[in-house]
Amino acid sequence: MDITTFVIVAVIKVVVVVFILLTGVAYTTLLERKLVARIQNRWGPTRVGPFGLLQPLADGIKFILKEDMVPDSVHKALYIAAPMLALAMSLISIAIIPFGPSITVGGTTTALQITGVVHANGGLSDINIGLLIILGATSIGVYGVALAGWSSNSKYSLLGSLRASAQMISYELALGLSLVGVLLLSGTLSLRQIVDAQGQAPWWGWLPHWYIFPQCVAFFIYLMAAYAETNRIPFDLPEAETELVAGYHTEYSAMKFAMFFMAEYMNMITVACLATLLFFGGWRGPIPHSAPAIVQSLLPVFWFALKVFFFMFLYIWIRGTLPRFRYDQLMAFGWKFLLPLAIVNIIVTSFIVAWRA
């Protein structure tokens, strides 16, 4: 396809993805509130719209209309830049995620992925270091948190941000190492190829060739690390209300706060997508060949969304049930348990791979 159509298609894809993503974020919040309410035997938001379905919209409007106040004695530039940075980084990582093989609309075939390309021979390919880019984006995202805490020049914020960034850095290690097992099995850093690698013939004919099964340990580690990365309960110490008012975004309000909020939920979605892609075979799922073409091309997206939703549900479920760690317990858990476990997992996996080869 020529460059103009490429650009047009890219722009369309970006718009669509971002829209879907923001909507997803909005309704994730609603889902969270509802579910937690149910878990705690409450109703949750019900007033705004049917079943409170318009609640997220209301929240958004509230955030936008609220006065955006900047306290004195904050480091202005950074205070403003921090939430943008956080949001931008979480958005960047979304750009790498593939949602499905490809879709053909009006004669133009394009990959269901912002950074994916379709070759002339119909073959699909994406960035060959996609996983690394996601890791890089998350690691840069730490700056958002850290700077937010520091620039707002308040002890709660500072402590919260210190905790947050320390926690992120610590668990980044475990996260990355837990992925190594999958990488060893698939032998590539390209997410699309990893998913394709999981498309092989099922084990014993019935068990899908998903890496969750050989890499269950890695999956466990990844889950823990992912929760810590996203500052979710049980690892939400950075914004532990009971200790530090609201952690690193104590001083933030209105849209800036909303940015952090959105960034957090986007990160949740991102790690959920990653988990899906790396351990649950991505968009793989039963696809009836009798269905029309458009259905055939959108069904994978459905499966993908389903798996992601499952992870989101898991997030909220855990939040509703588990208490919060103590900080030293958190660090000890990360460094003394997850990290060695991940290393052992890598060693075992590499031995198996070497033995198979």
Which residues make up the interface to other proteins (CB under 8 A)?
Answer: 75, 78, 127-129, 132-133, 135-136, 139-140, 142-143, 146-147, 149-150, 158, 161-162, 165-166, 169, 172, 189
Q: What sign does the dihedral 155-156-161-164 (CA atoms) show?
A: positive
d(CA 48, CA 29): 14
Judge whether 98 and 112 are in contact, CB under 8 Å: yes
Judge whether 71 and 80 are in contact, CB under 8 Å: no
Residue (178 or 297) nearer to other proteins, CB? 178
Residue (32 or 126) nearer to other proteins, CB? 126
Burial class of residue 140, CB neighbours in 10 A (0-12, 13-18, 19+): middle
For the CB of residue 118, give the shortest distance to other proteins in the complex, in Å: 19
d(CA 58, CA 79): 26
For the CB of residue 69, give the shortest distance to other proteins in the complex, in Å: 23
For the CB of residue 152, give the shortest distance to other proteins in the complex, in Å: 12
d(CA 307, CA 277): 9
Residue (83 or 149) nearer to other proteins, CB? 149
Residue (27 or 143) nearer to other proteins, CB? 143
For the CB of residue 126, give the shortest distance to other proteins in the complex, in Å: 12
For the CB of residue 95, give the shortest distance to other proteins in the complex, in Å: 15
Cα–Cα distance list, 204 to 200, 207, 278 (Å)? 12, 6, 21
Query: Please, which residues have CB within 8 angstroms of residue 156's CB and are 6 or more apart in sequence?
Result: 244, 245, 246, 247, 250
From first CA to last CA, the distance across the chain in angstroms is 40
For the CB of residue 352, give the shortest distance to other proteins in the complex, in Å: 18
Residue (8 or 169) nearer to other proteins, CB? 169
For the CB of residue 78, give the shortest distance to other proteins in the complex, in Å: 7
Query: Please, which residues have CB within 8 angstroms of residue 286's CB and are 6 or more apart in sequence?
Result: none
Nearest Cα to 235, choosing from 268, 280, 259? 268
Find residue 203's DSSP bridge partners. Answer: 207
Residue (28 or 231) nearer to other proteins, CB? 231
Q: Identity (one letter) of the amino acid at 307?
A: K
Residue (29 or 165) nearer to other proteins, CB? 165
For the CB of residue 139, give the shortest distance to other proteins in the complex, in Å: 3
Residue (147 or 274) nearer to other proteins, CB? 147
